[in-house]
Structure 1
Amino acid sequence: METFNTFADRMKNIGVMNYLKISLQHALYLLHHGMLKDAKRNLSEAETWRHGENTSSRGILINLIQAYKGLLQYYTWSKKKMELSKLDKDDYAYNAVAQDVFNHSWKTSANISALIKIPGVWDPFVKSYVEMLEFYGDRDGAQEVLTNYAYDEKFPSNPNAHIYLYNFLKRQKAPRSKMISVLKILYQIVPSHKLMLEFHTLLRKSEKEEHHKLGLEVLFGVLDFAGCTKNITAWKYLAKYLKKTLMGNHLAWVQDEWNSRKNWWPSFHFSYFWAKSDWKEDTALACEKAFVAGLLLGKGCRYFRYILKQDHQILGKKIKQMKRSVKKYSIVNPRLSY
């Protein structure tokens, strides 16, 4: 480590024009190795560097250096906040610790706020800043920061920006319509995100029919991805919602989603191989998938038939109910079953 520090200092002196960039890289290296005090000292030295031309790139580097310094101050603030939470307000040390917490938050805010106004991906800085704003009750300020971060067109597309805004709105018990608007954009960026199941729930509870239709689309979208094929919650939601949709005479909604998938979902989800594998690994998952398969492909579907033939004492009743529902609501003519 000492050798590296010596090398870094030498590089700063040789490459004066790149002093700030080298200092930042040095500080990040120190942070990575848990040397927080050394990293903070390094950043403070770089912050006071006054040589060279005042270019826009230099300004961004200084903002970045200050922001990382702010992140270190946030770390200290977070520890102080934890210490404060363990004290009673009547404790003689409470006021001193509270003042210390406030001082660190002020320093952190000053160092981070300039950076997050510059277009870029600043997730850890935004999260830290918003946490402090919320802690001191500035919910309007926190929402403004998150809204700008998510919606400002000058910033690059960033799923996390919408996730942070949604989680904030959820904490604030915001109206359902606001949360739907945020998750709708996240759905367009990452349709397989785990929050899509919450998105479906919000859409399902909405009074708008267009939201109910979108709720079905979202579930199909989640299960298009290989990483979600074993998600039993997604299959439960789809099984239940498919039946509800068909009972509500919205066959066209189901057909709209199925038409683009009918050539690849059967082998992707509902093959004989998957039926055997799913039943062996997770019988509950297999039952949910079998119900969906039956509704979409008819009672002749291999997956559905395999699960139907299994002898399971606990799931026997559910399998019989599933068989009746498939017979009544399947979108496929039995003679055309796969």
Structure 2
Amino acid sequence: MKGSEERRRYETIVSRSDVIEMGPMQLIWRMGIEILHHHPNSTLDDYNNIYERIKHSGVKQYLKLCLEQSFHLLLTGRFHDAKQTLALAESWRHETARVAQKKVVTLIVAYRSLLDYIMWCEKKETSDADFKGSEPKAMHNHFRQASVGLKEVFQNPGVWDPFILSYIDMLEFYDDQEEALKVLNHYAYDNAFPHNPNAHLYLYQYLQRHDASPRTLLKVLKILHSLLPSHPLMIDYCALLLKSGKTKKALGVAVDMLDYACWSKNLDVWKTLASIAEKLQTEGDLKETVCKVMCNRIDWWPALHFTTFHAAQDQREQPELRRLKVPLARLLCPDMTLRYCQTEAAT
């Protein structure tokens, strides 16, 4: 029985307009694959026969066919065959068609490089080398092929998350920190690339692994906060801000997290907010700081966190959470009488 992932991958929903736009060979290709997918006795050879016949019937769909064929081979666990298919497509020399399908060519290079990385990982796991300088030649060849391809891919703006992680993993293995940092900075800060929170996440994780200074980490997390204020790393951001004496900024970051309902029951976030409030009380200007943070929230924050329903639910499910929230409710909403803070509201 076909797996659900494979079914979704090859399920074709063809509208009337799609059929009109398809050429004859593309229509045969799509219908042939769909028939094989639903045929109970279809085999991998049947799929490959369809792909090979259509590939050699013209050049317009050649690269797309190679890419789709490689995906099918991957789904069936034929990694080496998939890489060979992509390598042949990558070496295809029909310049007019290659230029017209530039994005497909980039994807082919990317996935071929990713498969080289997977094979590099396999060699690394099975290697008996005692130190990095003695890795097998085949392992280094996979690294070289993957790195050349990925460098080419990263010149094209886009979201390349799994490919970036693969390249960084190899660079770290070979202790090439300069190149790894260069790639991550390019991915995170090049304006040609789309805004991508993961780019800053990967940079932060790399810097953290290599003992970067708090100032450097704060710089990365500041941008991540501007892109995705609900990111889990904002708890780390608050901790770093507290250590660096930026308590008011930490308060804003913590409250920004709690603007999102997904964090409303998270004990760690409320503990962070409580720590910030405690430090603010020792620094003075507490009332003014809280007022600035809450002035645009006072109309809706109590309904998000401090209702009678929340009191009963928190008391029943997380008593510690309610103990944290009661003083914070009084601090953040000082001019409001909140039933959340009343004992009978929890019953």
Could you state the TM-score of these two structures normalised by the residue count of structure 2?
Answer: 0.80
State the partner residue of 1:188: 226
Separation in structure 2 between the aligned mates of residue 245 and residue 83 of structure 1, nearest angstrom: 54
Separation in structure 1 between the aligned mates of residue 138 and residue 59 of structure 2, nearest angstrom: 37
Q: Does 1:2 align with 2:40?
A: no
Kindly provide the amino acid, as one letter, of the partner of residue 75 in structure 2: H
State the partner residue of 1:224: 259
Which secondary structure does the structure 2 equivalent of 1:16 belong to?
A: coil
Aligned length: 302
Which sections of structure 2, spanning at least 5 residues, go unmatched? Answer: 1-43
**Equivalent position to 1:278, from 290, 310, 314:** 314
1:272 and 1:306 in contact (8 A); partners too:
no
Structure 1 segments (4+ residues) deviating >6 Å: 307-310
- How far apart are 1:216 and its partner, in Å? 0.8
State the partner residue of 1:119: 157
1:57-81 Cα offsets, whole Å, 9 max, x none, are 5444333212211111111111222
Which secondary structure does the structure 1 equivalent of 2:323 belong to?
A: helix
**Equivalent position to 1:62, from 105, 111, 116:** 105
1:286 and 1:307 in contact (8 A); partners too:
no
**Equivalent position to 1:131, from 169, 178, 186:** 169
Separation in structure 2 between the aligned mates of residue 273 and residue 61 of structure 1, nearest angstrom: 53
Q: Does 1:303 align with 2:340?
A: yes
1:200-225 Cα offsets, whole Å, 9 max, x none, are 11111114xxx332211100000110
- How far apart are 1:96 and its partner, in Å? 6.6
Where in structure 2 are the equivalents of 1:1-338 lying within 5 Å?
1-53=44-96, 56-84=99-127, 88=130, 97-207=135-245, 211-250=246-285, 251-298=287-334, 300-306=337-343
- How far apart are 1:258 and its partner, in Å? 1.1
State the partner residue of 1:323: none
1:263-301 Cα offsets, whole Å, 9 max, x none, are 111111110111111111111112112221122234942
Separation in structure 1 between the aligned mates of residue 159 and residue 313 of structure 2, nearest angstrom: 42
- How far apart are 1:166 and its partner, in Å? 0.6
Separation in structure 2 between the aligned mates of residue 142 and residue 264 of structure 1, nearest angstrom: 44
- Relative to structure 1, is the Cα distance of residues 111 and 5 closer, same or farther in structure 2, using a 3 angstrom cutoff? same
Separation in structure 2 between the aligned mates of residue 242 and residue 189 of structure 1, nearest angstrom: 25
Separation in structure 1 between the aligned mates of residue 257 and residue 264 of structure 2, nearest angstrom: 9
Separation in structure 2 between the aligned mates of residue 57 and residue 280 of structure 1, nearest angstrom: 62
- Relative to structure 1, is the Cα distance of residues 129 and 262 closer, same or farther in structure 2, using a 3 angstrom cutoff? same
Separation in structure 1 between the aligned mates of residue 252 and residue 304 of structure 2, nearest angstrom: 18
Separation in structure 1 between the aligned mates of residue 98 and residue 92 of structure 2, nearest angstrom: 14
- How far apart are 1:304 and its partner, in Å? 1.6
Separation in structure 2 between the aligned mates of residue 280 and residue 115 of structure 1, nearest angstrom: 53
Which secondary structure does the structure 2 equivalent of 1:154 belong to?
A: coil
1:220 and 1:238 in contact (8 A); partners too:
yes
Could you state the TM-score of these two structures normalised by the residue count of structure 1?
Answer: 0.82
Task: Give the root-mean-square deviation of aligned CA atoms.
Answer: 2.3
Which sections of structure 1, spanning at least 5 residues, go unmatched? Answer: 311-338
1:287 and 1:307 in contact (8 A); partners too:
no
Identity %: 38
1:223-278 Cα offsets, whole Å, 9 max, x none, are 11011111110001112212321332122221111111111111111101111111
